[in-house]
Structure 1
Amino acid sequence: MKIGILQTGHSPEDLFGPFGDYDGMFRDMLDGNSFEFQTWAVVDGVFPDSADDADAWLITGSKHGAYEDHAWIPPLETLIREINTRKQPLAGICFGHQIIAQALGGKVKKYEGGWAVGRVTYEVDGRELTLNAWHQDQVVALPEGARVLGGNDFCRNGILAYGDHIISWQPHPEFSSAFVGGLIEKRGRGVVPDGLLDRAAAELDAPVDNQDIATFLAEFYRKERT
């Protein structure tokens, strides 16, 4: 199976050396599943010819807002709608979660309640799932047909599904705790309140459920669909 990674942002330059770029984090996360990958850096205006260029798709996170005026956002939304029409498997993470919702008729905005940074716990089907988060924007109005699979009091629309072919997460299962530590120091200071950053830094050694999502996502891509 060929998975097309639609890269909507780049890792901070001063973290690129030790951690690589966002597409590489997903390749590492899904390693060992016999997937083939190809990246299109849509944030740089590089797009596939059509949804036929891959069997399944993944949209990364980004420093940009889905509602911002960038030339690459409208064609990305068109591609998302094409993928949805074809019922191809599609996963979105953080910005990917938001742009899928926006492309299909939902609404994304900067949340008045502020930031979520570091370890965050979500309620999913009666169990708790803890993942690293890094966001202020949220999906605040759902598209028609979207189902809420998980969330919490801060982010009620934290995990969404559409049919059996689209799944999206607001948090970052691809982010290691070490990378989050780098974000705290290199991107967070002066932007995110220090109290939130200090709490997140104090919890960097605590476990997260990244592997559970990696397993789920691999099974989601391989699932038989009619």
Structure 2
Amino acid sequence: MKIGILQTGHAPDQLIDTAGDYDQMFRTLLDGHGFEFKTYAVLDGIFPSGPEAADGWLITGSKFGVYEDHDWIPPLENLIRDINAQALPMVGICFGHQIIAQALGGTVEKYSGGWAVGRVKYDQDGQELALNAWHQDQVMTLPEGARVLAGNEFCKNGVLAYGDTIWTLQPHPEFASPFVADLIETRGRGVVPDDILDRARDDLHGPLNSHTIAAFMAEFLKKERI
């Protein structure tokens, strides 16, 4: 199965050699599930010919806001709507989670409650899900037909589903804790309040459910749909 990765951001230059860029992180996360990957760096103006260029789609995270004025965001939203219209499977992570919601009629805003950084716990049907997060923006108004699958008091719309073909997640299952530790120092200081960064750094040793989410993502992308 061919998965098209729509890359909407780049990892900091000083971390790429050790951690890889954002598309590589997803290739690593989903390794062993039988996928073939093709990356389209949409933030650099590189787009697929259309939804038919892949069997399923994945949209990465980004340092940009979905509501910002970038020339690649409107065509990305059009592509999202075309993928949805063709009922192809699509997964969105962080920025991907937000841009899908915006493209389908929801709203995304800079959350007045501040930042979520590092290991965060989400409630999914009474079960705890721990993943690394890095965001201030949130999906505030749901598109028509979106279902909330998981969240917490800080981020109520943490996991969304649309019908049987779209599944999106606000945190980052692809972010390993060492990468978050480096991200705190390279991209966090001076942007995110130090007390939030320090608490996040001190809690990075905790267990994560990234492998569980990776298995779910693979199953979701591959499952047969009528």
- TM-score band (shorter)? over 0.9
Letter in 1 for 2:176: S
For 2:219 and 2:174, how far apart are their aligned partners in 1?
16
Counting only pairs closer than 5 Å after superposition, residues 43-54 of structure 1 correspond to structure 2 as: 43-54=43-54
The answer as to 2:209 corresponding to 1:209 is yes
Q: Cα RMSD between the aligned structures?
A: 0.5
TM-score by length of 1: 0.99
Letter in 1 for 2:129: L
Letter in 2 for 1:17: D
Shift of 1:126: 1.4
Which string of whole-angstrom CA distances, capped at 9 and with x for unpartnered residues, describes residues 150-196 of structure 1?
00000000000000100000000000000000111111011101111
Which string of whole-angstrom CA distances, capped at 9 and with x for unpartnered residues, describes residues 50-89 of structure 1?
1000000000000000000000000000000000001100
For 1:203 and 1:185, how far apart are their aligned partners in 2?
15
133-142 vs 200-209, which deviates more?
200-209
What SS does the corresponding residue of 1:216 show, helix, strand or coil? helix
Letter in 2 for 1:140: M
TM-score by length of 2: 0.99
Letter in 2 for 1:71: D
Query: In structure 2, what is the equivalent of residue 74 of structure 1?
Result: 74
Shift of 1:34: 1.1
Letter in 2 for 1:195: D
For 2:91 and 2:125, how far apart are their aligned partners in 1?
19
Letter in 2 for 1:27: R
For 1:147 and 1:18, how far apart are their aligned partners in 2?
37
Query: In structure 2, what is the equivalent of residue 84 of structure 1?
Result: 84
Query: In structure 1, what is the equivalent of residue 165 of structure 2?
Result: 165
Query: In structure 2, what is the equivalent of residue 199 of structure 1?
Result: 199
For 2:222 and 2:16, how far apart are their aligned partners in 1?
30
Query: In structure 2, what is the equivalent of residue 104 of structure 1?
Result: 104
For 1:34 and 1:172, how far apart are their aligned partners in 2?
21
Which string of whole-angstrom CA distances, capped at 9 and with x for unpartnered residues, describes residues 74-129 of structure 1?
00000000000011000000000000000000000100000000010000111010
Shift of 1:222: 1.2
Query: In structure 1, what is the equivalent of residue 31 of structure 2?
Result: 31
Query: In structure 1, what is the equivalent of residue 19 of structure 2?
Result: 19
Query: In structure 2, what is the equivalent of residue 130 of structure 1?
Result: 130
For 1:194 and 1:112, how far apart are their aligned partners in 2?
17
Shift of 1:200: 0.6
What SS does the corresponding residue of 1:140 show, helix, strand or coil? strand
What SS does the corresponding residue of 2:195 show, helix, strand or coil? helix
Query: In structure 1, what is the equivalent of residue 225 of structure 2?
Result: 225
User: Stretches of 4+ moved more than 3 A in 1?
Assistant: none
Count of residues paired in the alignment: 226
What SS does the corresponding residue of 2:76 show, helix, strand or coil? helix
For 2:202 and 2:143, how far apart are their aligned partners in 1?
37
For 2:89 and 2:63, how far apart are their aligned partners in 1?
24
Percent identity, aligned pairs only, is: 68
Shift of 1:224: 1.0
For 1:147 and 1:82, how far apart are their aligned partners in 2?
20
What SS does the corresponding residue of 2:113 show, helix, strand or coil? coil
Question: Structure 2: which 5+ runs fail to align?
Answer: none
